[in-house]
Structure 1
Amino acid sequence: MKNALITGATSGIGASFARKLGKEGYNLYITGRRIEVIEKLAYDIRKKYHVKVTVVLADFTIPQEVDNLLKEIETVPFDFLINNVGFGHKKKFFDDTYEKQYEMIEAHINSFCKITYLVSRNMRKNKNGNIINVSSLAGFAPTSFNHLYSSTKSFITTFTESLHLELSPLGIRVQALCPGFTRSDFHKSLNIKEETFKNRWLVRWMDSDKVTELSLKSLNKKGGLYIPGLSNKILYTIVKFLPRKLYYSLARKMGM
């Protein structure tokens, strides 16, 4: 049987990946923090697709909980890894305590790297596997209010592309998934109002299921960087080639 590990599977993109891989016959190990929500997801997948679903509660800002997860999965031969843990801060960097801000570094970098190291090391032995690391379009766009989110997502993207360069010759497909505006509990948890979810100009909100569908299709063709949606690709191109001085000026005017 095929095995898949999906972190941050409680809702949104992570839950969508869990449903899609469950449908494909993968036995799942899914992590999250909201026990009622993730247990309901596990129950639904088991009932619908008749696969084994193991729930591991883990807070990725707490190193000991991540280490406990690693001990539980260290002997499992995973065919698929999806790193989807992510959260945003409600306060700006200097308006918050450093300890609270550091939680994002712990989750997006330290815990992320620990899990990737363990699972991909076993994939290297078998010379087979799939890895999708969920980053963000925000990783290409520095902002004046979301310092660590955009910075740590930038790390995830670069790190994942480096993995792709090393592992693809071994038969392991690796993708840095960089979605843009995606409807999920992520934005609700930051108290972002529903009217913000409306499409405006190049801002085109996507559903989680569409993001994961496009991601898996792209992974079957090639690895490396993947940005779902035409409007997101255009935004990426604009940010990439816009002169930095002009970008800084626009970002300040737009409150970015």
Structure 2
Amino acid sequence: MSRLAVVTGASGGIGRALARHHARKGGDLIVAARRLEALQSVKAELEGEFGVSVTPVACDLGTAEGVETLLEAARDAPVEMLINNAGFGGSGAFLDRALADDFAMLDVNVRALMALCHGIAPGMVARGKGRILNVGSTAGMMPGPLQATYFASKAYVNSFSQALDEELRPQGVTVTVLAPGYVETDFAARADLEGTLLTRRGQSAASAARVGYDAMMTGQLVAVNEPMLSVLVDWIIPLLPRRVVLKMVRRMQEKG
């Protein structure tokens, strides 16, 4: 297979855009998501337009069985790039949310990402080259009242990715974390955030994917998809009092 990439959450949004960007550059793909019919659509589109090979793997990465299904599909393949995009959010005060829903969020946003890195990176190390892109969020750079678990899960992704890069880079494997702001996908609808200040304006999935992919290919450590947002999270928010940040983020996620 040519420059094989594994992309999770590839049926739509940033994941599908990342798969398309890789295919445009002539790379083959293993694409994963829960819905087989959506993956078959991705396969037909990318193979027809770019002449690459696309292997769909329908699996629920919120389960150990789903993660193992994907690892098995990639086990004997020379994976050069792992793109961990699968994830979801959910709004509401922590005590008002079902704890099982937040545990399910952690299973996809954190546990699956860890398991795939642990399962696929050793092959990269053995070959002395490889690139990993973990899709985090600028949400991981601040606390998130009314999305406490989601923001915390992305803080984990941001921290974990940078630490893993430091461990793997001497062995020829780089890890990049893409930390976008709000992106126009089905995220808002699924997280029940439509109508909030947070979702009033966002970037396209294609533009966010391009920033993340290009950063991965150059071995960049952290990539934020908007220059002004990068200034905000790197230089302004860290200097603000914590209570001010908390109230600001809460207002952005309140309805009405």
> What TM-score does the superposition give when structure 2 sets the normalisation length?
0.90
2:245 aligned partner: 247
CA shift at 1:187, angstroms? Answer: 1.6
CA RMSD in angstroms, aligned pairs only: 2.0
Identity %: 25
CA shift at 1:171, angstroms? Answer: 2.4
User: In terms of mean alpha carbon deviation, does 133-142 or 240-249 score higher?
Assistant: 240-249
CA 1:155/1:99 → structure 2, altered by over 3 Å: closer, same or farther?
same
1:202 aligned partner: none
2:140 aligned partner: 139
**8 Å contact 2:90–2:192 — kept in the other structure?**
no
Secondary structure at 2:175's aligned position in 1?
A: strand
Matched letter for residue 238 of structure 1: I
How many residue pairs get matched?
251
CA 1:68/1:255 → structure 2, altered by over 3 Å: closer, same or farther?
closer
Counterpart selection for 2:226 from 218, 226, 229: 229
Structure 2: distance between partners of 1:193 and 1:246: 24
Secondary structure at 2:79's aligned position in 1?
A: coil
Please list, as runs of the form range in 1=range in 2, the aligned pairs for 1:112-123 lying within 5 A after superposition: 112-123=113-124
CA shift at 1:141, angstroms? Answer: 1.8
CA shift at 1:76, angstroms? Answer: 1.4
1:156 aligned partner: 157
1:25 aligns with 2:22: no
1:54 aligns with 2:55: yes
Structure 1: distance between partners of 2:224 and 2:88: 19
User: In terms of mean alpha carbon deviation, does 155-164 or 239-248 score higher?
Assistant: 239-248
Structure 1: distance between partners of 2:244 and 2:34: 41
CA shift at 1:55, angstroms? Answer: 0.6
5+ residue gaps, structure 2: none
Please list, as runs of the form range in 1=range in 2, the aligned pairs for 1:23-172 lying within 5 A after superposition: 23-172=24-173
Structure 1: distance between partners of 2:176 and 2:126: 19
Matched letter for residue 143 of structure 1: G
5+ residue gaps, structure 1: 200-204
CA shift at 1:117, angstroms? Answer: 0.8
CA 1:198/1:111 → structure 2, altered by over 3 Å: closer, same or farther?
closer
CA shift at 1:179, angstroms? Answer: 0.3
Write out per-residue CA displacement over residues 63-97 of structure 1, whole angstroms, 9 at most, x where no aligned residue: 22212222222121200110001111244321122
Structure 2: distance between partners of 1:252 and 1:218: 30
CA 1:118/1:92 → structure 2, altered by over 3 Å: closer, same or farther?
same
CA 1:198/1:243 → structure 2, altered by over 3 Å: closer, same or farther?
closer
Structure 1: distance between partners of 2:13 and 2:216: 19
Structure 2: distance between partners of 1:153 and 1:166: 20
User: In terms of mean alpha carbon deviation, does 244-253 or 39-48 score higher?
Assistant: 244-253
CA 1:193/1:146 → structure 2, altered by over 3 Å: closer, same or farther?
closer
**8 Å contact 1:4–1:27 — kept in the other structure?**
yes
**8 Å contact 2:145–2:246 — kept in the other structure?**
no
CA 1:195/1:249 → structure 2, altered by over 3 Å: closer, same or farther?
closer
Secondary structure at 2:78's aligned position in 1?
A: coil
Structure 1: distance between partners of 2:183 and 2:251: 24
1:208 aligned partner: 205
User: In terms of mean alpha carbon deviation, does 29-38 or 134-143 score higher?
Assistant: 29-38
User: In terms of mean alpha carbon deviation, does 103-112 or 62-71 score higher?
Assistant: 62-71
CA shift at 1:254, angstroms? Answer: 5.2
> What TM-score does the superposition give when structure 1 sets the normalisation length?
0.90
Secondary structure at 1:79's aligned position in 2?
A: strand
